[in-house]
Chains A and B, each alone.
Chain A
Amino acid sequence: MQITAELVCFWIFAIPLVLTALGVVVARSPVYAAMNLVAAFFFMAGIYVLLAAHLIAFMQILVYAGAVMVLFLFVIMLLSLGDEHLRRERRSAMQYVGVIGAVSLLAVLAAAIARVPDKAMGALAQPERFGTVKAVGQVLYTEFLLPFEVTSLLLLVAIVGAVVIAKERI
């Protein structure tokens, strides 16, 4: 395969992405896991840019690396867990069975991916428009108008629900 800038960028983003994702799972402290997850979200945004999804890459950084991770860090801070939760977790046999199950899922996914024709992605009809705010916004407000409006309702319910659940006395 010919080495192109896209190929180099793919590896530059993909390898740290997998490493930081592993860091989330391996980390014992939630703070380290959260920091690894922030890095993983940034590398994921880079992959999205490679796939010409500019708006989604931007939202990935704004919503995930910004809002959601701040929420996580706030909760970590709020809980102020002592050292006892950092000690080595007791592993049961079921957990290892679960990981074997996860790896077999990867095998199933591999079988599915092997069926996808391994050809390079074609050129876009309008590469300068694809994935921009205008193009995605147009689809969101016409084809996906009802789900888009329902999303606002979902977020409202989530806000109210979060406040009610986390309140001192219900």
Chain B
Amino acid sequence: MVPVTWYLWLAALLFTIGLSGVLMKRNALIVMMSVELMLNAANLTFISFARQFGDVGGHAIAFFVIAVAAAEAAVGLAVVIAIYRTRGSINIDEVRALRE
């Protein structure tokens, strides 16, 4: 049997990759994809602990995370479209109306 720590390592690695994508990329679409990657890493942690403790509750939480991620993608992409309409660019460095 594969130990649970291997799955946790995989999840940690994926979360780090997603986080560095969020911090490194300036394209709003790729930033959102990296967020999806981070949500998936969290899901993987839930499911590996669910498997280890034999508790289906972790699967229910993963189900909710998937639903919330779908809602987040829909609203986030709508925001990206609205930003593109008003500014003609999806570079997140150029969106700073609230900062100035």
Contact = CB atoms under 8 A, between A and B. Distances in A.
A128 interface: no
A22 B23 contact: no
Nearest to A53: B47
Interface residues of A, number: 85
Contacts of B78: 161-163, 165-166
A78 B14 CA distance: 29
Contacts, number: 230
A138 B93 CA distance: 46
Given A6-B1, A79-B84, A110-B12, A21 B67 contact: no
A25 B6 CA distance: 23
Contacts of B34: 24-25
A122 B52 contact: yes
A95 B23 contact: yes
A24 B37 contact: yes
The prevalent SS among residues of B at the interface is helix
Interface string A37-66: 100110010011011110110011001100
Interface in A151-170: 151, 154-155, 157-159, 161-163, 165-166, 168
B70 A162 contact: no
A85 B23 contact: no
B60 A155 contact: no
Interface of B: 1-10, 12-21, 23-27, 29-30, 32-34, 36-37, 40, 43-44, 47-48, 50-52, 54, 56-57, 59-60, 62-64, 66-75, 77-82, 84-85, 89-91
